[in-house]
Structure 1
Amino acid sequence: MKYYTIGEFAELIGKNAQTLREWDKKDLFKPHHISPTGYRYYSQEPLNHFLGIRGVEVKNRRIIGYCRVSSYKQKDDLERQIENVKTYMIAKGYSFDIITDK
């Protein structure tokens, strides 16, 4: 399961970290767990809830990476772009397809 830091989670849901800290203090919204050093971590499930994604949708969801160059002369640029997008998608743990355009 993927866990997000308070800053990452706040950015993904369009709030700031202080708001999440206040929600935690008021028992309105709790993190998945708090590390021994006091860092809050949030799981994927509440993120899906905030983004309005249901469980089935998440499992079957695929992300599209779009890579484009203006001309055939830029083939090397396109290849680099594809590799960068692939690296990003893999790092994020996405299930993805890449579409290219020249």
Structure 2
Amino acid sequence: MSSVYRIGDFAKRVGRSPSTIRRWEAEGKITVRRSPSGQRYFDESDVAAVLAPGFTRDDRKIVVYCRVSSAGQRADLACQVEAMEAFCLARGLAVDEWVREVGGGMDLTRPKMLAVMADVKAGRVATLVVAHKDRLTRFGYDYLAHEAETAGCEILVANQESLSPREEMVQDLLAIVDTFSGRLHGLRRYEKQLKVADLTEVSS
């Protein structure tokens, strides 16, 4: 008896994401059968059709982005890449581009991250894979995910928190405190200047 797959299992079987399968359906590249309850289902003939050489595949890239905060974490970066290789292999993802970057999670001007997001916005990336959300950015992930979704790109998060070093979070939190401390100091100095100006005006 032929195996029957739901969309998630079928996506893994052909090395794509469920969102890609849905897009293929919308584009008419595949014919989807549905059960009486309305659920999509596939069998081995569908797998063979998608894996056949003549099938029109998505020509956009699958990109894996790996990041650590400092040069002293090169070993952590290598472990992150190795773990993501295993993750992509298990998911059947044929990765087109591996991006490795050293830079803080709060720095949204990281050159390689900006280059990846530029490709995403230009419609050149089908799937962007990261170990954890904070590997892409410490704050503002939802905005980047929205930009990716708008461009038809799926951000696939492996949710491997062990690849997000705790010391990085401490460094980022200290950076936030330092930033706001500087602003608070500036406000206090501004308040003093205002008071001096008021006293000068009153005395004159």
Deviation at 1:89, TM superposition (A): 1.4
Structure 2 letter corresponding to 1:6: R
Amino acid at match of 1:32: F
Contact kept, 8 Å, 2:4 with 2:42, in 1: the verdict is: no
Q: Note closer, same or farther for the CA distance 1:79–1:4 as it changes in structure 2 (3 Å cut).
A: farther
For residue 24 of structure 1, the aligned residue among 35, 42, 45 is: 35
Q: Distance in 2 between matches of 1:4 and 1:62?
A: 29
The CA RMSD measured in Å over matched residues stands at 3.8
Q: Is the 8 A contact 1:62 1:94 kept in 2?
A: no
Tell me the secondary structure at the aligned position of residue 68 of structure 1: strand
Shift of 1:4: 7.9
- TM-score (norm. length: structure 1): 0.51
Please state if 1:82 is matched with 2:81: yes
Residue 69 of structure 1 contacts residue 78 of structure 1 at CA under 8 Å; is this kept in 2? Answer: yes
- Structure 2: 5+ residue stretches without partners: 10-16, 20-33, 49-54, 103-204
| Structure with larger Rg | 2
Moved over 6 A (4+): none
After TM superposition, list the pairs within 5 Å mapping 1:1-102 onto structure 2: 5-6=5-6, 8=8, 12=18, 23-25=34-36, 31-33=41-43, 43=46, 56-58=56-58, 60-96=59-95, 97-102=97-102
| Greater RCO, 1 or 2 (C-alpha within 8 Å, sep 6+) | 1
Q: Percent identity between the aligned chains?
A: 21
Aligned residues between the structures: 74
CA deviation map 1:36-84 (0-9, x unaligned):
xxxxx8x569xxxxxxxxx5342x3331000000000111110000001
TM-score by length of 2: 0.28
